[in-house]
Amino acid sequence: CIRDSSYAYGFNGREPGSVPVDRVAQIDEAKILSDAARHRAAGSEFTVVSMHWGDEFVTELNEQQADLGPRLLASPDIDLVIGHHAHVPQRIDEIDGEYIAYGLANLLSNQSSSAPECPTACPLESQDGVLVDFVVDRSDDGTLGVVDVVVNPTWVDNGNTWKVINTQSPPVLGAAVDTAVLSESAERTWSTMGIGRP
């Protein structure tokens, strides 16, 4: 049994009381740990915590990520932490054989440095994305754990086709994408992630 719980740093300007508590949970370390323990007691063999955190368009971790991430992963009830919200790739850390993917960037978005509505706020990296394969297997002692991590960089072609393109196998037809742009995007993502390069 694998369980996932999600938490957000905030609600895009809305007051916490205006958001139904059954739809989104605000980041609260004690609640996250309590929820994970409850999932484990209910039979979860592998618990993933999803975090909506980080500073937009910043590849470096903010204080909340750097402080809270390792503490969450230290819990015996949490096996993997996956984050998003920064809109650019952030690193993956391995701590005692478990992983935190702090930020998975954009998958499909209209953000780019050339978009009319985002000429100065959105960096080039906002078109970078990533699909990460966390390979989970059962060990000899019967517990589940991540045994391999593969980072698959993507790039959003939001000027031509509005497609998510695998930077390692771009389409032959249907997109006028410069392969150098894809190579540069992949290199930025792998360099930032720090792990999972094939």
Cβ-Cβ contacts under 8 Å for 18 (sequence gap 6 or more): 11
Query: Which pLDDT does position 5 carry in this prediction?
Result: 79
Is 166 buried (19+), middle (13-18) or exposed (0-12) by CB count in 10 A? middle
Residue 29 · residue 11 · CB < 8 Å: no
pTM comes to: 0.87
- In tens, the pLDDT along 69-97 reads 999 999 999 999 999 998 899 999 999 99
SS3 content of the chain, % helix, strand, coil (to 5): 25, 30, 45
Q: Sign of torsion, CA 198 195 73 6?
A: negative
Cα-atom radius of gyration of the chain, to the nearest Å?
18
Q: CA nearest 147: which of 89, 186, 193, 196?
A: 196
Query: Which pLDDT does position 155 carry in this prediction?
Result: 86
Which segments in the chain show pLDDT lower than 50? none
Query: Which pLDDT does position 26 carry in this prediction?
Result: 78
Say if strands 46-52 and 2-8 run parallel, antiparallel, or are unpaired: parallel
Q: CA nearest 146: which of 161, 159, 132, 128?
A: 132
Place of tokens 């391999």: 148
